[in-house]
Each structure stands twice: as structure tokens, then as C-alpha cells.
Amino acid sequence: MYTFSGKLKTFSIALMILGALGMGYGFFSAPKTTEEVKEILHHEESTHDAVQTDQDATAEAHDSANSESHSAEAEQSHLEHVLHQMQNRPWTAFFIASFFFLMIAVLVLVFYAIQWAAQAGWSIVLFRVMEGITAYILPGSILLFLFLLASGFHMNHMYAWMAEGTFDPASENYDAIIDGKSWWLNTSGWLIRSFIYLFVYNIFRWILRRNSIALDNSGDIKIYKKNFNLSIIFIVLFAILELFMSFDWLMSLDPHWYSQLYSFYVFASMMVSGVTVIALVTIYLRTKGVLPFVTDSHVHDLGVYMFGFSIFWAYFWFDQFMLQWYANIPEDAAYFFPRLIGSYQLPFIGMLILNFVFPIFILMDKDFKKIPWFVVFTGIVILFGHYIDIFQLISPATVGNDWSIGVPELASIAFFLGLFIFIIFSSISKVPLHAKGNPFMKESEIYHC
């Protein structure tokens, strides 16, 4: 049975404390008025360090500074726009990190359910690891839902469709395109659906985990069949809910743009991240001697899944990008413009190299996937790459082109990483890691590839 290491516990708590302080600083240091924004922009211009905040907005600022004919009203509108983007920065950092770690846990639950539904034999020795990782779903859901509530009550400016007057034809902020989607994009419906997504993830995790522990204690095959049936139901439900969840939480940040492949793309990105975390936690516990039945063959198969889902992700990345960029329809190309040739070019191209080029060269070799330290190194790179992927999905719509990696971003990562480590290893330490009641355990113990 695993005992939560004192050093690891202290490390995770330290990360949470430092992260919380850094996030607090991010919110506190964000500008509060347009006058503060004006001073910041003036300072940037005077030091020749101005960074574009938004393509259209930057053009307005340039005209405002160099043309007397530019109206004060337009300048004030530009300053308010920049103010909202600067205020969004700590919220964006929080959202990216909370979404990333929560969806890792949720996709581990999906992978876990797939093993039950497929009656897989090789993975049973990893079940307690997967269950431990999915323990993060509850606290992760609470924190993310608090962010969604804050957005719904207009405590930030993350979602443009929530702006005042967007659905009012008499308002100067009226947007006919967004108004046409008002039957779906409305705050009450959005929050209710978000609660449903999170509730389904949590209730199925709780039932599957409870039944798994009960199976160990009783060995009753009826419990195994319950989890088999529940896993099939959950997989189907998740396939439906993830379509809407990706649209609600991520794609609606750019309400004028849409892609039919988007939800599959998000699924692929988070699935490879989930499998990677399973591999990292498994290898760590194996070094502690608490997973004696986990062999190089199990590590190899996790490496195969990491490689396979990396290719799966690249397939959707290319399909979505190629079809929309090649078609060159303005509302489609506008989404990729800042990412491909704008200020997000570095993270956009960089995450493609980290998430596709790197794994395809490193994980293609069968022998490499059986070397634990090699899988760990590759896994860390993949997780970093997919965090950058989520970053470039969200940031262009919320903070504009004036993005950076600083205290708010690093603090958010630290806080949620610390919480993630604390929750999963606390959960893993509560029960024996040998799922002895599963009828396929013997097959898993002697598995060899």
C-alpha cells in the first residue's frame, strides 16, 4: 500500500501556496481604470516596446496618437477594450490551468471506462492509479464552476457574447450573428449545461470507484457487470456531452467562428494528456515499489497510447486547419490569422512540434517505449506541448495579441499542479493498489508484449 511521501506532500502544498499568492498578485496588479491603461500604453510607446493588443485596436491607437482627426470617443472605446483584455489576463491564466488539469482527470476516467467496457486484461494493475487521478474531478469541477459563475455574473470579460447589449437590436453593441445563436448562447442555459457536464463526470466517477472497491471486498461478479454496463453508458454520454462542452466553454470564446471538428480536436488533445499522466504516475509509483506487477510491457503499452493519440490529435489539427485556411473564408481565416502569422505564431507552431513532430520521432521505436525514464521525459514534453495547445485555443479571444507568460500564468500552473498532485496521491494512498477482485487481474499480472 502506498504512503503519501512527506516530501511530495510538502512540495504540493508549497506549490499551492505560491500559486495562490501569485494568482492574487495577478488580480491585484491588473489595471482598474482606463487612465491606468493609458499610462501603460504611453510608457510602452515611449520605450519603443509597445506590443500589439489587438490588430484593429492597435490601428486605432496608432491613428489616435498621430491623427488629430481621430475622435476622443474612439480613443476611449479603444482604451476600454484594452482594459478588458488586461483584466482578462489573470482570469485567462486561471481558466487555462483549471480546464487543463480537470480535463486530464476526466479523460483518465474515460480511458478507465474504456478498459471496463472493452473487458481489457492488460490494464487492471493500473486501475487504482487511474482511480486516484480521477479523484481530482470533484475539486477541479468546483474550481472551474466558480470561474464559470464569475463569468456568468459579469465579473470578467472572457465571453464576448455576454457583453451588455449584444442581443438588443437597439444597442450599439448589438451583434446579429450572436443574436442568432441566443437560443443556445444565453447565460442561464450555459450555466445549467455546465453544471450538468460536471455533475455527470462526478457521479459516474463516484459510482465506478465505489463499485471497484466493493468488487475487491466481495469478489461478486455482479458488481463487475454493473461497472461494465455503467462504463458503456458513461462513454456514450461523454461522447455527447463533450461535443457541447467544448462549444460552450472554449469555442464560444470566438462566437463568430465555428468548426465541426473542434470538439474532437479538444478530446484528442486532452486524451493524450490523460494517458501521459497515467504513465507518469505509474512509473513514479513503480519506483517506490508499490506496483510490483507493473512491468515494462505495461509501460510500453502506455507509450503506445501516447504515440497513437498524438497522431490522432495531429490528424484533427491538420484537418481543421487545412480545410479552413485553404478555403480562405474571412470568418474562418480570422481564427487562424493571429495563430499562424500573428503574435501567436510561436506557441501555435511550437505546440505542433512538441505534440506531433517530437512524439513521432521519439515514441515510434518500440524499445524506447519500454524505458521508464525515456517515457517520463517524453511525457513531460507532451504535457507542456498540450498545455500550450490549450493556451493558444483560449488566449487570442480573451487577452488579444498582447500575451505573455508571467506571474499569473506560472502561478496558476503552480497552484493547480500542486492541488492535482495532492489530491491524486492522497486518494491513491487510501486503498491497496492491487485490484484483487477483478476477474482479469491474473491476466494483467502475467501480461507480456
Per residue in 409-424, pLDDT tens?
999 999 999 999 999 9
What pLDDT score was predicted for residue 57? Answer: 45
Element (H, E) at 443: helix 441-445
Element (H, E) at 151: helix 137-152
CB atoms < 10 A from the CB of 248, how many? 20
As given in the structure block, the three cell numbers for residue 19 are 500559486
DSSP 328-353: T-HHHHHHHHHHHTSTTHHHHHHHHI
HSE on the CB side for 32, CA within 13 Å?
A: 3
- Min mean pLDDT across 103-112, 156-165, 244-253 is at 156-165
Nearest to 146 by CA among 195, 207, 110: 195
Q: Which of 28-32, 34-38, 360-364, 387-391 has the highest mean pLDDT?
A: 387-391
What pLDDT score was predicted for residue 65? Answer: 42
Greater confidence (429 vs 78) lies with 429
- In this prediction, residues 325-335 reach a mean pLDDT of 84
Q: Calculate the CA 328 to chain-centre distance.
A: 28
As given in the structure block, the three cell numbers for residue 402 are 498582447
- Min mean pLDDT across 43-57, 69-83, 247-261, 336-350 is at 43-57
pLDDT at 74 over 50: yes
Long-range contacts (CB closer than 8 Å, 24 or more residues apart) made by 6-13: 8/421, 8/425, 9/422, 9/425, 11/418, 11/421, 12/417, 12/418, 12/419, 12/421, 12/422, 12/425, 13/418, 13/422
What pLDDT score was predicted for residue 40? Answer: 77
As given in the structure block, the three cell numbers for residue 307 are 504515440
Tell me: the pLDDT tens digits for 228-248? 999 999 999 999 999 999 999
Cα–Cα distance for residue pair 335/164, rounded to 1 Å: 23
- On average, the pLDDT of the chain sits at 89
As given in the structure block, the three cell numbers for residue 263 are 470538439
The percent of residues in the chain predicted with pLDDT above 70, rounded, is 94
Q: Which amino acid is at 8?
A: L
> Which residues, 6 or more positions from 415, have their beta carbon under 8 angstroms from its beta carbon?
15, 16, 18, 19, 20, 22, 23, 97
pLDDT at 56 over 70: no
> Which residues, 6 or more positions from 112, have their beta carbon under 8 angstroms from its beta carbon?
127, 130, 131, 134, 208, 231
As given in the structure block, the three cell numbers for residue 423 are 489530491
Cα–Cα distance for residue pair 430/423, rounded to 1 Å: 11
Tell me: the pLDDT tens digits for 170-212? 888 899 989 999 999 999 999 999 999 999 999 999 999 999 9
pLDDT category at 70 given cuts 50, 70, 90 is: low
Q: Taking the CA atoms of the chain, what radius of gyration do you get in angstroms?
A: 24
pLDDT at 317 over 70: yes
pLDDT category at 69 given cuts 50, 70, 90 is: very low
How would you class 279 by CB atoms within 10 Å of its CB: exposed for 0-12, middle for 13-18, buried for 19 or more? buried
Three-state SS letters, 106-127: HHHHHHHHHHHHCCCCCCHHHH
Look up the pTM and report it.
0.91
Residue 414: φ, ψ to 5°: -60, -45
What pLDDT score was predicted for residue 253? Answer: 95
DSSP 36-62: HHHHHHHHHHHTT----S-HHHHHHHH
pLDDT at 99 over 90: yes
Cα–Cα distance for residue pair 128/126, rounded to 1 Å: 6
Please check whether residue 417 is in contact with residue 130, taking contact to mean a CB–CB distance below 8 angstroms.
no
CB atoms < 10 A from the CB of 353, how many? 11
- In this prediction, residues 107-121 reach a mean pLDDT of 95
pLDDT at 50 over 60: no
- In this prediction, residues 131-143 reach a mean pLDDT of 97
pLDDT at 151 over 70: yes
Cα–Cα distance for residue pair 25/68, rounded to 1 Å: 38
CB atoms < 10 A from the CB of 1, how many? 11
pLDDT at 363 over 90: no
Going by the DSSP 8-state scheme, the letter that residue 356 receives in this structure is I
What pLDDT score was predicted for residue 404? Answer: 87
pLDDT category at 48 given cuts 50, 70, 90 is: very low
What pLDDT score was predicted for residue 332? Answer: 84
- In this prediction, residues 17-26 reach a mean pLDDT of 96
Cα–Cα distance for residue pair 227/305, rounded to 1 Å: 23
- Total residue length of the chain: 449
Tell me: the pLDDT tens digits for 393-446? 999 999 988 888 999 999 999 999 999 999 999 999 999 898 888 898 999 989
Greater confidence (188 vs 322) lies with 188
Question: CA quadruple 80, 341, 310, 239: dihedral positive or negative?
Answer: positive
What pLDDT score was predicted for residue 410? Answer: 97
With both helix axes pointing from N to C terminus, report the angle between 330-340 and 345-352 in degrees, rounded to the nearest 10. Answer: 80
Element (H, E) at 187: helix 187-218
What pLDDT score was predicted for residue 46? Answer: 64
pLDDT category at 75 given cuts 50, 70, 90 is: confident
